[in-house]
Amino acid sequence: MAKKASRVVDVRAAVDAASGPLQEAAGTLAGMEVTLRNMVRATVERKHVTIQYPEQRKPYSRRFRGVHVLTLRDDGRLKCTACYLCETVCPAQCITIEAMDVEDPTVEKAPSVYEIDLSRCIFCGFCVEACPEEALIMSREYDLSATSREPERLTYGISALTQRPEIAAYGAGFRPHMDYPLVESYLPSAVPGPDGRAKAKK
């Protein structure tokens, strides 16, 4: 079979012919069309698209799946009974529980260790759905970071999951039974900062 005849095209010459200062300026403006439109709208109509994070934050859905919260009983003890269902269902295997005996005869057991390795957590919310007692819910806290990978940085134990002021500042997030009213006393009390938000964690 004979080879099909091909035409040789000088790409550089074609580009040179199609470009010049004017064309380039027009192209830049065309690319910035959306930006310019929003700029005009923001200045004229005072409609801002961006916010000044982290000084300003956007509200998130009540179903937002953020950092976990261990909820409390009326007397301040954990609701968790260490049934291990969250640990069982966790697809990332980031939950570690150890159970202990407690004095209270009406309570079978309670966790002595409850740790969530948030650097492994995928925030799927299965643990919250598995919990039969709403002892574990999620908050709307989303900006979670650490400066090293040492396990203690992002592995939150019982105290961090109940006592960090951020949790209350962001509010409760995903709960399995959203139709039930949230008992606010579940949540740890917050210490609001001067700007109305909780103080950043150390």
Partner 1 sequence: MPMVTIDGRQIEVEPGTSIIQAADRLGVEIPRFCYHPDLRPEGNCRMCLVEVDGFARLAVACATPVADGMVVRSPHTSPQASQAVNGVLEFLLVNHPLDCPICDQAGECSLQDFYMHPDYGLHKSHVDPAEKVHKRKRIDLGPRIVLDAERCVMCSRCVRFSADVSGKAELQFIQRGNHVELMAFEDRALEDPYAGNLADVCPVGALTSRDFRFKRRVWHLEHTNSVCAGCSTGCNVRIDHFQNHIERVVPRRNPSVNSSWICDEGRLSWQAAQGGERLTQPASGGGYPPEIRWSEAVKAAHELLTDRGERPLAVLGSASATNETLLLLRRYAEQAHSEHWLDFRLAEEVQLVGEREDQLLRRRDKHPNTLGAVYLGLAGARGGLPAMLEAAQTGEIGALLLVYYPPLVGEESAGVAEGIARLLANVPRSVVLTTHRLPYLQGAALQLPVAAWSEEEGTYTNFAGTVQVVERAIIPPGMSRPATAVLADLVEHQVYRRPDADAERLFAELARTVPAYQGMDYAMLDSRTATTYPPEGRMHYGQEGFAGR
Does residue 127 belong to the site contacting partner 1 (CB under 8 A)?
no
Q: How far is the CB of 103 from partner 1 (least distance, A)?
A: 11
Of 60, 53, 187, 33, which is closest to residue 123 (Cα–Cα)? 60
Nearer to partner 1, 88 or 189 (CB): 88
Q: From edge to edge, which strands make up the β-sheet containing 110-117?
A: 95-100, 110-117, 155-156
Of the two residues 63 and 109, which places its CB atom closer to partner 1 in the complex?
109
Bridge partners, 116 (sequence order) = 95, 156
The residue from 16, 24, 101, 143 that contacts partner 1 (CB under 8 A) is 101
Q: Which of 69, 70, 72, 83 binds partner 1 (CB under 8 A)?
A: 83
Angstrom distance (rounded) from CA 127 to CA 137: 8
Q: Binders of partner 1: how many residues, by CB under 8 A?
A: 14
Among 54, 76, 132, 196, binds partner 1 (CB under 8 A): 132
Per CB under 8 A, 85 contacts partner 1: yes
Residue 106 token pair: 């009406």
Is residue 60 a contact point for partner 1 (CB under 8 A)?
Answer: no
The region, left, alpha or beta by phi > 0 then psi within -120 to 50, assigned to residue 99 is beta
Smallest separation, CB 148 to partner 1 (Å): 25
Interface with partner 1 by CB under 8 A: which range of 3-11, 93-101, 146-154, 167-175?
A: 93-101
Tokens 């909780």, located at residue: 198
- Dist CA 101 CA 103 (whole Å): 7
Q: Which two tokens stand for residue 4?
A: 């099909």
Binding site for partner 1 (CB under 8 A): 81-85, 87-88, 99-101, 105, 108-109, 132
